[in-house]
C-alpha cells in the first residue's frame, strides 16, 4: 500500500508544523558576523601568504628529492637483481 500526502506550506509554516525552533534571528546574526569577518580579512589579504600555504618549502623539496633518490636506488637494485637472476642457468 502506498500513500501520498501533499502539503502546500512555506518553509516557516513547515518548521512550525514539525515543531522545529525558529532560528532565523540566529542565522541572520551568524551571517552578519561572517560578513564582517570576511571584509576585515580581505583588507589584510596577502597573495604571497596564501602561496606559502600551498607551495612546498625548500626543506620539503629537499626531503622529496631525497625520497625520490631512495626510490630510484631501490628500483635500480631491483632491476639489477632481476637481471642477475635471469643470467643464472
Mean predicted lDDT score pLDDT of the chain:
85
Q: Residue 89's pLDDT is what?
A: 58
Residue 88 lies in a domain: no
What number is the average pLDDT over the span 61-79?
86
Residue 1 has pLDDT above 80, yes or no: yes
Residue 24 CB contacts under 8 Å (≥ 6 apart), including other chains: 12
Residue 29, domain extent:
12-45
Domain count, the chain: 2
Percent of the residues in the chain that have a pLDDT greater than 70, as a whole number: 94
Q: Does the CA dihedral 58-59-64-69 come out positive or negative?
A: positive
Do residues 16 and 40 share a domain?
yes
What number is the average pLDDT over the span 58-68?
82
pTM score, two decimals? 0.39
Residue 57 has pLDDT above 90, yes or no: no
Q: Residue 40's pLDDT is what?
A: 86
Amino acid at each position: 500500500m502506498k500513500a501520498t500526502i501533499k502539503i502546500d506550506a512555506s518553509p516557516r509554516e513547515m518548521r512550525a508544523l514539525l515543531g522545529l525552533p525558529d532560528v532565523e534571528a540566529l542565522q541572520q546574526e551568524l551571517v552578519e558576523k561572517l560578513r564582517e569577518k570576511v571584509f576585515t580579512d580581505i583588507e589584510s589579504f596577502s597573495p604571497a601568504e596564501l602561496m606559502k600555504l600551498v607551495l612546498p618549502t625548500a626543506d620539503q623539496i629537499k626531503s622529496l628529492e631525497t625520497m625520490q633518490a631512495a626510490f630510484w636506488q631501490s628500483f635500480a637494485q631491483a632491476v639489477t637483481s632481476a637481471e642477475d637472476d635471469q643470467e643464472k642457468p
